[in-house]
Structure 1
Amino acid sequence: MTGMTGGFIEALLGARRPVIMELKRQDATGRDLFGGRSVERIVAEYEDAGAPCLSVVTGHWFGGTRGLLHEVVRATQLPVLQKDFITRRSQLEQAGEDGVSAVLLTAALLPRSTLGNLVEHSVRLGLTPFVEVTTEAETLRVPRGEDCVIAVNNKDIATRERGTANLGRSSELLPALQRTGTSCPVSAGGIEHPDVAAQLVREGFAGVLIGTGLLRTNSLSDWLDDFDRAHPARS
């Protein structure tokens, strides 16, 4: 399977609505998020809503599989991020074959040398490293910031992301993210409300990644209309 490599950062930076819209089958407690909807229907809803790029959780904590990733890649031409615990080069090569544009690298799980090697290999493969951090120390270990999306995870993997999100973490870490040279700082995890998402964009984040909040909303269009009203529009 081949797909779009590259373009993830450009798509997000050029978006009128800088929301990375995520597909994941379950939340952190195992509750179903698809509600009987097909992958194709959710992808179509996201595309109709102007999603610049999509995220797909393939990690088993959230009911993810590579099959889910394949369904999404077949259903869209948008850049796709694969979210899983990637620790080896072979996983990056598999992601490229599966047609993704960006790959999640979790700084908390990776020693400095391993993180550096995976970032370098991602770039060589034409994949955007989407590096997730939770502390300033982790942020300082990210190499080639100018080639990466650097994302603050507002939740903690130590608790399998079951705890309450610390949305203040994003605001606190934004200056450190900006010092890496990334053009694309992102806030991710636990963002439920459109006014919170808009506030993060106003603070200086290039985008927000939202899964559960969008999958659970009664009206995606209403959620995004509220977001539009609360954040400065991009031309």
Structure 2
Amino acid sequence: MSNKFGLQYPSHIFPTKLILQIELGILDWRMEGLISLKSSPGTSLRSFPSFNQPPNSFARRFSMDLPLRRSSFPAIRAQQPGTISPKEEEEEDALKVKEWEVGMFQNEVAASQGIRIRRRPPTGPPLHYVGPFEFRLQNDGNTPRNILEEIVWHKDTEVSQMKERKPLATLKKFIENAPPTRDFVGALKAAHSRTGLPGLIAEVKKASPSRGILREDFDPVEIARAYEKGGAACLSVLTDEKFFKGSFENLEAIRNAGVQCPLLCKEFVIDAWQIYYARIKGADAILLIAAVLPDLDIRYMVKICKMLGLAALVEVHDEREMDRVLGIEGIELIGINNRNLETFEVDISNTKKLLEGERGQLICQKDIIVVGESGLFTPGHVGYVQEAGVKAVLVGESIVKQSDPGKGITGLFGRDISL
């Protein structure tokens, strides 16, 4: 994204910055608020009550004044391509240092909430920077620790590039003319009421990192139509290209083909820009993964979803993530993924474990729909998670691999659930 001075900002600073701004009642995505915050002596992010007590040592480092002044920006604004002076280059390096430290702060906040997935490789600050993290970063290593972290690191780079090609201002213009969203939550409730079984979110999915190619003759529109005919309440469309062989074009094609099922954009969201992009491509809902996103990001992104008319399916994997999400207001859908996204091992008893006791009671009190995800292949599996308390299931592999996905749905539930 470019600010009004023409500078490019990497995607990783947005979630924390945006949350700060919306809590101030500002829906402007520019960098100015962050610059003001950091350039004001004695100001710290800890002054914002919604921050979940970041580590004191880092909070002090974050609030330190760095050598970047608002008065330096007119010179940067006036520069012409190919005429960057040494002073302007130094000022731009200072801004990059500031951005890098914001990214490090975000990682530390995430770690304090039990999030083990690092948002980007710890490659360190820009060249010529000597700071308090230099020695530690040289010893951290830049190899992803698991497949989810590898996906997130790649997504960070991918989204940065996409934002340069399609700035937010451009997306907002398209949204003004986009068709209205369909009721994703309402469709799941209606399906559950009609069949007495969990509402089905059928996944349009060509491949996965753990299983490879699931279907060679992959036609997303034909698969979507077969799902709809077979009784699916909603559809989930993979949009990640590198790891799942999906695309936003698939999402758009299904929407434009006249499929009436509401569509979930199954994406690894790290930046609110992706939510806007999903909206213009035809999404009615979007996935938010608690293993990747800190509480503040989830809270802000849920607000963005509501503003755009989208449902937010917030996915959890363990007790801590469930407790975090249950503490956030406005959550309507929680997905329990039985697949450990770090090891990719599957255990459907995870659903029952996360819905026992006080957590299950709180979910009922809040009228949250729980979606069972991963490892569901038979009527017995569906019955097991339904008894645990789910009212919807998200299923891909066990039905997309069938020559007739509609018949795959019948096999999954043990009976015909089509209209």
TM-score interval, normalised by the smaller of the two chains: 0.7 to 0.9
Partners of 1:100 and 1:118 lie apart in 2 by 15
1:62 correspondence with 2:247: no
Match of 2:335 in 1: 151
Percent same amino acid at aligned positions? 28
Give per-residue Cα distances to partners, 1:1-34, cap 9 Å, x unaligned.
7345241111011103511100111133363223
Matched-pair contact (CA < 8 Å) for 1:80–1:101: yes
If asked which structure has higher relative contact order (CA below 8 Å, sep 6+), I would say 1
* Residue of structure 1 aligned with 2:280, choices 97, 100, 105: 97
CA distance 1:202–1:222, change in 2 (3 Å): farther
Match of 1:213 in 2: 398
How many residues end up aligned between the 2 structures? 229
Matched-pair contact (CA < 8 Å) for 2:235–2:261: yes
Match of 1:71 in 2: 253
* Residue of structure 2 aligned with 1:48, choices 194, 210, 229: 229
* Residue of structure 1 aligned with 2:388, choices 203, 219, 226: 203
Matched-pair contact (CA < 8 Å) for 1:183–1:206: no
Partners of 2:281 and 2:412 lie apart in 1 by 32
Task: Quote the offset at 1:78 in angstroms.
Answer: 1.4
RMSD: 2.4
CA distance 1:202–1:110, change in 2 (3 Å): same
The one-letter code matched in structure 1 to 2:337 is N
* Residue of structure 1 aligned with 2:217, choices 15, 36, 49: 36
Give per-residue Cα distances to partners, 1:162-187, cap 9 Å, x unaligned.
x3311111111124255242431011
Task: Quote the offset at 1:191 in angstroms.
Answer: 1.5
Task: Quote the offset at 1:228 in angstroms.
Answer: 4.2
CA distance 1:68–1:222, change in 2 (3 Å): closer
Alignment of 1:74-223 (within 5 A): 74-75=256-257, 76-142=259-325, 143-145=328-330, 147-159=331-343, 163-175=344-356, 176=359, 179-180=362-363, 181-218=366-403, 220-223=405-408
User: What TM-score results when the alignment is normalised by the length of structure 2?
Assistant: 0.51
Matched-pair contact (CA < 8 Å) for 1:178–1:185: no
Higher CA-based Rg:
2
Partners of 2:182 and 2:368 lie apart in 1 by 15
Task: Quote the offset at 1:57 in angstroms.
Answer: 1.0
Partners of 2:180 and 2:355 lie apart in 1 by 29
Matched-pair contact (CA < 8 Å) for 1:3–1:73: no
Runs of 4+ in 1 over 6 A off after TM superposition: none
User: What TM-score results when the alignment is normalised by the length of structure 1?
Assistant: 0.87
* Residue of structure 2 aligned with 1:10, choices 186, 193, 208: 186
Give per-residue Cα distances to partners, 1:40-92, cap 9 Å, x unaligned.
21111111101111001112321121112112222212100001111222111
Task: Quote the offset at 1:112 in angstroms.
Answer: 1.3
Match of 1:21 in 2: 202
Partners of 1:115 and 1:190 lie apart in 2 by 26
Partners of 1:141 and 1:152 lie apart in 2 by 13
Consecutive unaligned residues in structure 2, runs of 5 or more: 1-173
Partners of 1:191 and 1:79 lie apart in 2 by 21
Partners of 1:70 and 1:177 lie apart in 2 by 36
Matched-pair contact (CA < 8 Å) for 1:102–1:128: yes
Consecutive unaligned residues in structure 1, runs of 5 or more: none
Partners of 1:127 and 1:79 lie apart in 2 by 10
Match of 2:37 in 1: none
Partners of 2:309 and 2:391 lie apart in 1 by 21
